[in-house]
Amino acid sequence: MTTLTKPDLKKKLRLDALARRDALAVDYRLDAAMSLVEWAAEICSTPPDVAAGFWPIRSEMDVRPLMHALGAQGARLALPAILDSQTIVFRELIRGAKLVEMGFGTKGPDVEAQVLMPDLILVPLAAFDARGHRIGYGGGFYDRALARMAAQGHMPKLVGIAFDCQEVDEVPDEPHDVVLPEILTESGLRRFAPDL
């Protein structure tokens, strides 16, 4: 029996979890997205100054209702903007402002939008485990963005966003991985103890 390398195992877990997510009914995904709104106040004890979400792609959980609820609490909203093959920044999302294609099927504010430093980031993911370890889409954009923020002395609160069906038994750890302290799914907010 061949043992998979960590990157190959992550790729397999990612593909399997995304297939399960893709199989969810559209109505189920819509109801799940709306259920996240109930957790807006629970995510942060005080509303964040800047909350960053993401424009949903494919069968991804739609965080726009949750972002709207955070905005109603007073948070400025932001979406990731892809600058190049290595870098994202978070640009302010203002109602009625122009959104442009960012690649990978996602949209974000154009270059005229102000770049913000989020206090809260809703993190997309392909798969997660019961320790808060995450498998992203393989580009490393969030890992690099968070490393840059940490180097500037800023670490936002991170909440992963997924469907329950994206949970896997165990995500293989790699040194660059950022562990999520919380993940919000349609069944509620899960908080994870830090690795010791």
Question: Is 11 annotated among the ligand-binding residues?
Answer: yes
Write 98-103 long-range contacts (CB < 8 A, 24+): 99/55, 102/55
pLDDT of res. 1: 52
Question: Is 188 annotated among the ligand-binding residues?
Answer: no
Q: β-pairing, 76-82 with 88-93?
A: antiparallel
Question: Is 107 annotated among the ligand-binding residues?
Answer: no
Q: What is the average per-residue pLDDT within 56-60?
A: 94
Q: Report residue 31's pLDDT band, with 50, 70 and 90 as the boundaries.
A: very high
Q: How far apart are CA 135 and CA 181, in angstroms?
A: 14
Question: Is 140 annotated among the ligand-binding residues?
Answer: yes
pLDDT over 80 (residue 194): no
pLDDT tens, position by position, 115-156: 999 999 999 999 999 999 999 988 889 989 999 999 999 999
Question: Is 10 annotated among the ligand-binding residues?
Answer: yes
Question: Is 90 annotated among the ligand-binding residues?
Answer: no
Average pLDDT, rounded, for the chain = 92
Q: What is the average per-residue pLDDT within 153-167?
A: 96
pLDDT tens, position by position, 63-121: 999 999 999 999 999 999 988 888 899 999 998 888 998 877 889 999 999 999 999 99
**Which residues lie below 8 Å from residue 110, measured CB to CB, with a gap of 6+?**
91, 97, 98, 99, 100
Q: What is the average per-residue pLDDT within 37-62?
A: 93
pLDDT over 70 (residue 196): no
Helix (H, G, I), strand (E, B) or coil at 53: coil
pLDDT over 70 (residue 162): yes
Residues in the chain: 196
Task: Tell me which CATH code domain 6-191 carries.
Answer: 3.40.50.10420
